[in-house]
Amino acid sequence: MTTAGFLAFAFAHLLGLAEGFWAVLTAVIVIQSSVGGSLKAALDRLAGSLSGAAWGTAVATFVPHADIVALGIAVVVAIGPPAVLAAMIASFRVAPVTAAIVLLGAGAQNAGLIASAIDRVLEISLGSVVGMTVSIFVLPARAHGVLTTAANRTLRLLAQLMGTLCSCLAEGTDFARAQRLLDRTRLAITRIETIGAEAARERATRLTEGPDPEPLVRTLTRIRNDLVMIGRTATEPLTEPALGRLRPVLDRITESTTRFMTETGEAFARRGPPPTTADTEAAFDEFAEALSEMRRERVTQNMSGDVVGRIFALGFTFEQMRRNFADLASRAEDFAQRNRTVPKDVPSPRRG
């Protein structure tokens, strides 16, 4: 931000722009946590500035504003339509601001209006270009790197949630803590989606050669949805005889799934190979076998309908989680392969 602000100030001074502070402000605003985020901010700023300047010039030209009442009406006309546009398309949120600036800061003559609008667009365009260039060349942070770090944090949080939910099922511990973790994971997934969009933008503009981020975002979202389903069964602890039959299997599922998510998150962070899913597969198989055995022995006939529904919902969710864990391992392998140097005459390693 410091570099972008200084360079925007220097260029605005060299070019003799009337109000170069707009270039400085834009350059600072454009700088985001990643190159992809900066690219979006720059494009949004340009789109909003061009549309707002054009509309503000039109209003200042054709809507009378000689006295204070007429000027107030003109302000409403200048801000209203761009505000509606910004409400529908977030990329144009700067348009109402630019329209108001052009209207209120323009001279009385049409030539002054047009010159004011052009100056504003030039200043903001300069700031956007400087901000984007600095983002690429000065301490660049690629969104794919930010994404892998965020994936690590999210998976650690999901692992905590899994342990808490299984504890609620087995011991009836405080479900309020699980609910708080569910809220935190929702926010984490929202951040992952934002970073994934930035990474996709970098990839589309050839600013990075990273893998497609969308499959990773989709898989993490599905895993959280699995935990939401488990949460619906964990509002109360399981009762006997279901708890006695399933407690050892639930303990193994807890241990294997939390370890897998934690180690996979670390694999994303270091761009290394993911852990095997063998332990989680075995634990899910044990749960399925325990359910089948309970059915064969007609143990479920002595349970309430609520308990039966909850344990079979768990079985369905664990099968979903099995597939999602396999997808997650594939996504981690995709990122790990991008970090390897493979000679052209050597075939790429097969995905495990």
- In-domain check, residue 278: yes
- In-domain check, residue 25: yes
* Same-domain check for residues 310 and 324: yes
**Are the beta carbons of 222 and 192 closer than 8 angstroms?**
no
CATH code of the domain in which 276 resides: 1.20.58
Of 44, 335, 35, which Cα lies nearest the Cα of 202? 35
* Same-domain check for residues 73 and 193: no
* Same-domain check for residues 276 and 154: yes
* Same-domain check for residues 184 and 286: yes
* Same-domain check for residues 58 and 126: yes
- In-domain check, residue 345: no
- In-domain check, residue 351: no
Report the amino acid identity of residue 18: A
* Same-domain check for residues 75 and 162: no
* Same-domain check for residues 150 and 133: no
Rounded Cα–Cα distance for residues 184 and 232 (Å): 17
- In-domain check, residue 344: no
The domain boundary residue, chosen from 137, 165, 200: 137
Longest dimension (CA), the chain: 91
- In-domain check, residue 349: no
In terms of residue numbers, what domain contains 195? Answer: 143-338
- In-domain check, residue 346: no
pLDDT for position 106: 59
- In-domain check, residue 91: yes
The domain boundary residue, chosen from 115, 137, 159: 137
The domain boundary residue, chosen from 137, 156, 177: 137
Lookup result for tokens 């549309």: 51
How many alpha carbons fall within 13 Å on the CB side of residue 81? Answer: 12
* Same-domain check for residues 158 and 267: yes
* Same-domain check for residues 118 and 185: no
pLDDT for position 57: 86
> Total domain count for the chain?
2
pLDDT for position 310: 87
* Same-domain check for residues 104 and 234: no
CB neighbour list of residue 69: distance below 8 Å, 6 or more residues apart: none
* Helix or strand (DSSP H, E) at 229: helix 214-233
- What are the φ and ψ backbone dihedral angles of 109, each rounded to 5 degrees? -95, 155
pLDDT tens per residue across all 352 residues of the chain = 899 999 999 999 898 887 788 889 888 988 887 777 788 888 888 888 889 888 988 888 888 878 888 889 999 999 999 999 999 988 888 889 888 888 887 544 444 677 777 887 888 889 989 988 888 888 777 777 889 999 999 999 999 999 999 999 888 777 888 999 999 999 999 999 998 888 888 888 777 777 889 999 999 999 999 999 999 998 888 888 888 888 899 999 999 999 999 999 999 999 899 999 999 999 999 999 998 888 888 877 777 888 888 888 999 999 999 999 999 999 999 888 866 543 333 343 433 3
CB atoms near residue 174 (< 10 Å)? 11
Of 340, 262, 328, 249, which Cα lies nearest the Cα of 292? 249
CB neighbour list of residue 334: distance below 8 Å, 6 or more residues apart: 211, 215, 216
Lookup result for tokens 């365009």: 125
Instruction: Supply the DSSP symbol for 278.
Output: H
* Same-domain check for residues 245 and 277: yes
Rounded Cα–Cα distance for residues 141 and 46 (Å): 22
* Same-domain check for residues 252 and 328: yes
Of 186, 43, 24, 22, which Cα lies nearest the Cα of 118? 22
**Are the beta carbons of 213 and 144 closer than 8 angstroms?**
yes
